[in-house]
Chains A and B, each alone.
Chain A
Amino acid sequence: MLKIEGLTAEVEGKQILKGVELEVPAGEIHAIMGPNGSGKSTLSYVLSGREGYEITGGSVSFNGVDLLALEPEERAATGLFLAFQYPVELPGVGNALFLRTALNAVRKARGESELDAMQFLKLARERLKALHISEDMLKRGVNVGFSGGEKKRNEVLQMALLQPKLAILDETDSGLDIDALKIVADGVNALRSPDFSALVITHYQRLLDYIVPDRVHVLMHGRIVQSGGPELAKQLEAEGYASVQAAA
């Protein structure tokens, strides 16, 4: 499980996170909502270890490990997965090769055996089928020439293959039509288990109709200002963030 205490972070000298307190127990899915510029994406990058984000205070422990002390790839190996808001294109790199390399890197770090091309293909086909994603996805360059929806589907496919313990979905729903939204939701719901947690970062209630969260938190000005059950998301949808601001 994930425990964030008093987390403060700066980007280019500007303080963005101002003392985030958050606990996600194993098996739970939590949503983080908030207006633009509240620090949602910064939180996901700080948790996954992107450079350029300076942590000035606080701690993050993930299943007892000090997450902030690890390199990004080590965090991935412990089971952290970030579904990117804007998945990155890797020209000339085949999607299948990329996915297999990633899967084997993570398996190796976990002390599991690496999969050869045939074993991988079998597994990938199973996952694709379960997610109703076309096999063509494997043959193309990583995210190159993908539509917005295809990129997000590819993120979900990667998540399904890597089987993380904690998935952070950074506005994965932005720019998605309803079909793509369902695929993303199915991907997350399929992973639901007592040792899987997710942090769903979103602007809108819409995604939460399909991924029903155990808890909803409102992030504003770099702090969690309100927490509640799934009904909080509906309230925000109806009343906007102004009501929270007033309450805070």
Chain B
Amino acid sequence: MSRRETKPLNRAPHRTFAARFLVLVGVVAVLVPLLPLAAPSEVRLEEKLAPPSFGTLWRDGFEPDRIRDPGPLSRVLIDARIAVFGDGQLGPLLGTDALGRCLLSRLAWGARLSLAVGLVASAISLIIGVLWGAVAGYSGGRVDDIMMRIVDILYALPLMFIVIFVVALLRGFRNEHPELETNQIIVLFAVIGATSWLTMARIVRGQVLSLRGTEFMDAARAAGSTNLSILRRHVLPNVTPIVLVTLTLTIPRVMLFEAFLSFLGLGVEAPDVSWGVLARQGFDALTAVHVSAWLILFPGLAFASTLLAMNVLGDRLRDATDPRLRGDRR
């Protein structure tokens, strides 16, 4: 088994490269506050729409107060950063946007939010989907029928449109009452996560159903294991590979949806930045008289390379876990 599993990996160096790239993006996203970057919302109107250049590599003037309510972790990292770099910061190496904000810094901070949306929403869908699928498949019979019927009905609904509808309704309410501090990002997590668990539930249920007939499950039951302990010790470990595969393919989908919502003005709001917001701003800068290609080029590149790496990694995991789809058969 191990020989077969390692063979395709060795033959595909670009796939391990994808994994390394993702780790790099993840580390950058977590450690952004530690890096000597300008504050993402630091406006310098005298530098607006400056093209990428290495003219100013390093300069002073970091303003930690411009980073809007950082969490406890970010605060520690920012303190550490100030201890190391003082108020020095990198110049706008990738250019600036219409308000003179540093694109490099905004890309790095955007990675944080985009990845967070992808991970948290996928985690929500993972929890709901695995529980739903495992319970349905394990219970079988009438319970299974009803639970999967509910999934079927939800599948038939145009969930995307209902999500957009709900988010737009809430956004309209927010626009009229800006004094209410509702956190749009949490709404985003919840709504995306709550609507993308269906595929996961189906896959897990199918897997659990096929496990039910196996002998080691009968043995576990005969040995007096409770349902809960069978689920935990025998069922979950066996569905983990396929769940991981589905998860790696869910994250890019969720990130695309976030970008889509942000483009429509329904997702992440200023002053927060995500890659979707940056792509939107880059697009707006493009249609203006003054063509600033870097504003769409770099967010687009960041987005596409990250999603590409995730898709490649997901494919690789699928190939490794599903012998039927393995590429060496013809």
Q: Decide if A and B are genuine partners.
A: no
